[in-house]
Chain A
Amino acid sequence: MNDRLPAGGAPVINESGIPIQPLYTEADLEASGGTAMLGRPGEYPFTRGIHPLMYRKQPWTMRQYTGFGNAADTNARFKYLIANGQTGLNVAFDLPTQCGLDSDDPLADGEVGRVGMAIDTLRDFEIAFEGIDLDRITVSLTINGAAAILIAMYLAMAERRGFDVRALRGTAQNDILKEFIGRGTWIFPVEPSVKLVVDTIEYCAAHAPKYSPVSVCGYHIRESGANPAQEMAYAFCIARAYADEVLRRGVPIDEFAGRLSFNFNIFGNLFEQVAKFRAGRALWAKIVHDEYGATKPGSMWMRMIAGGGGSGLTFEQPELNIVRGAYYALISALSGAQTMALCCYDEAYTIPSEHAQRISLRTMQLLIEEMGLTDTVDPLGGSYYVETLTNQMRAEMERIIADVDARGGIVALVGDGSIQAQVSAQAYARQMDLEAGRLRKVGVNCYRADAEEDPKVELHSYDETDAAAQVARLAEVRRTRDPAAVAAALEGVRRAAAEGVNTMPAIVTAVKAYASVGEITAALTAVYGRYREPVKF
């Protein structure tokens, strides 16, 4: 196309498949669609940012992913991070909680409190958030399969502490479709799983209108092998799948679309990521406006958390991950993220130490305080390269979405394992490229350490007595609660599921009676059954 440009050696193609030229000019920008989708910050289609002043008005929320052991351990770490200037909380739950199992379930043995905080009943939530001002510190719950139960617990806990639930802000991850693609904390089959997500959206729209019940995740799809354009395109397909179901219940788009949020990955080429986010913002606005007929600007905002990218970090020379984390934070700031969370440098080894968490937090703080990242909105806007790439990434995402639609839609493609097989094939190809040195990774396939040095990473020790204490607390709650109220509430959950009505009111009643995560999950599986994973290559 640009034969007037000098040759730049071997062709460069970004991960999303777009060829990169040695130089970009106004002519390239025009050829890619010009500035038709650019607009001004805070105005449709929001390529440059969802707010007119962005970080000039308020920097991004800092929300490191945290949780381990029991509720008291996690409460102490929360308070440490808040004391160090963190402005939100992002809660990690252990695997039994995420899979809907109580801490005393035989399947939970050895896993209680290991990779996150163990939650069995409302009592644990009361301890976990004790002393934390939920109006000032917004909380994000990284929970999916069991999200309806944990959202109900969070709202019940806040209400009991005297917060106005109608004004309560916060987020639940609650994106089950991506759990079937990557991450794997599914419980129920695909259809009832989606129904539960829709129950939470419908319930929150009516009862907790400031709460974001879903954070649609491209993040884990990317970790599973998707390229950046696929990551965002698949996330939008998933968000549309939820929106379609909410609309079918008669909730108007402008009553819930504004509370849908997104979680994206950041590792890879800096400019490709920035273009991905700018392109995605405009594309999501266009989808919500053109396809769904939303009229409120807030409905069209692609609000996002970004900054993490576990697959970009390395086990080798882990201190390099501090540097990578700083670049990821920079990308996130250049991309207009609402919330930032960084992976800690020691994550390939362990649950992050307090020290590693503080380094991540300080990384974000020094971008704000020292580097001028909050001075002006969309600082890369107007770059021929970034604007051209933004147009090209948007076109590629639109192509992928059209392809998914033509193949039967995202729910069908996740249900039969097609998307899983595709991203897994790409993950394999990527690993082969890494091992052959075609894809360069510092410390891994180039600039390796001469001898394997001791990485001096402080390993988080798993405390078996914590797990025993958690089981003991659950037993005590079971002993002191009203058994008749629990039984009636669990029957209410089962009936709501069987009748196909919104299950959230019944789940809220059950958590308030101190029914456990495992008991409520069992009431739901009695009706819905359990997911059977299609193992497809």
Chain B
Amino acid sequence: MTDTVQAKPIRVVLGKPGLDGHDQGAKVVARALMAAGMEVIYTGLRQTPEAIARIALEEDADVIALSSMAGSHLNFCQKLKPLLDAAGLDDKLWIIGGNLPRQDHDALRALGFKGIFATGARLDDITAFIRGNVGVHQ
């Protein structure tokens, strides 16, 4: 259930991609991850792919998490993937949550997003997924 006392906390960069201003969900998830003992770097709104890749690198993120509510997730993730790859962050855990139609899930997985948490996902499931998958190489 809980991390061992010695374990280094998991660091999560939680980004809001693009122009979408709906941040209630991202902030709720951020609180849940913090309550679970993780360190969360929340980027705030209006982040470009370049900014998210840079923050993830600078913050030494174990997890790169995106919250997208306004439908531009595929377009954004297609731009983000090569930047994360180029920054050597392809071994980190990439996850995404929000308003993500089921028809897009395969494409998101193909882009490297291992965890997909569409509307209705439970906070416990997000936390457990991160614990179970962080640092696990494909």
Contact = CB atoms under 8 A, between A and B. Distances in A.
B24 A535 contact: no
Interface in B4-46: 18-24, 27-28, 30-32, 34, 42-46
Interface residues of A, number: 39
Given A185-B19, A444-B120, 4 more contacts: A424-B28, A424-B31, A459-B103, A537-B42
Contact of A427 (B21, B28, B44, B46): B28
B21 A185 contact: yes
A115 B124 contact: no
B125 to A, nearest CB: 10
Contact of A428 (B22, B23, B32, B72): B32
B19 A96 contact: yes
Contacts of B137: none
A179 interface: yes
A111 interface: yes
B123 A435 contact: yes
Interface residues of B, number: 33
A110 B72 contact: yes
Contacts of A459: 101, 103
Contacts of A427: 24, 27-28
Chain A residues touching B, majority SS: loop
A224 B25 CA distance: 9
A163 interface: no
A114 interface: yes
Contact of B75 (A98, A110, A223, A348): A110
Max chain A C-beta neighbours (<10 A), residue from B27, B34, B99, B101: B27
Interface of A: 95-96, 98-99, 101, 107-111, 114-115, 179, 182-185, 223-225, 314-316, 348-350, 424-425, 427-428, 431-432, 435, 444, 459, 462, 533, 535, 537
A315 B71 CA distance: 15
**Most chain B beta carbons < 10 A, residue from A115, A179, A350:** A115
B99 A348 contact: yes
A22 to B, nearest CB: 34
A533 B20 contact: no
A108 B20 CA distance: 11
Contacts of B134: none
19 contacts: A95-B21, A96-B19, A107-B19, A110-B72, A111-B70, A114-B71, A179-B21, A184-B23, A224-B24, A316-B120, A348-B119, A349-B99, A428-B27, A435-B122, A435-B123, A459-B103, A535-B43, A537-B31, A537-B34
B72 A111 contact: yes
Contacts of B21: 95, 179, 182-185
A183 B46 CA distance: 12
Interface of B: 18-24, 27-28, 30-32, 34, 42-46, 48, 70-72, 75-76, 99, 101, 103, 118-120, 122-124
Q: 7 shortest A-B CB distances, which residue pairs? A: A184-B21, A110-B75, A95-B19, A315-B119, A428-B31, A424-B27, A533-B44
B103 A225 contact: no
Contacts of A223: 24
B18 A111 contact: yes
A315 B120 contact: yes
B128 to A, nearest CB: 13
Contacts of B119: 315, 348
A44 B43 CA distance: 48
A183 B99 CA distance: 15
A359 B43 CA distance: 39
B118 to A, nearest CB: 7
B28 A184 contact: no
A182 B26 CA distance: 12
A535 B42 contact: yes
A109 B19 contact: no
B19 A315 contact: no
Contacts of A107: 19, 48
Nearest to B99: A348
A413 B74 CA distance: 36
A537 B27 contact: yes
A428 B71 contact: no
A461 to B, nearest CB: 10
A396 B121 CA distance: 34
B44 A111 contact: no
Contact of B24 (A349, A424, A432, A537): A424
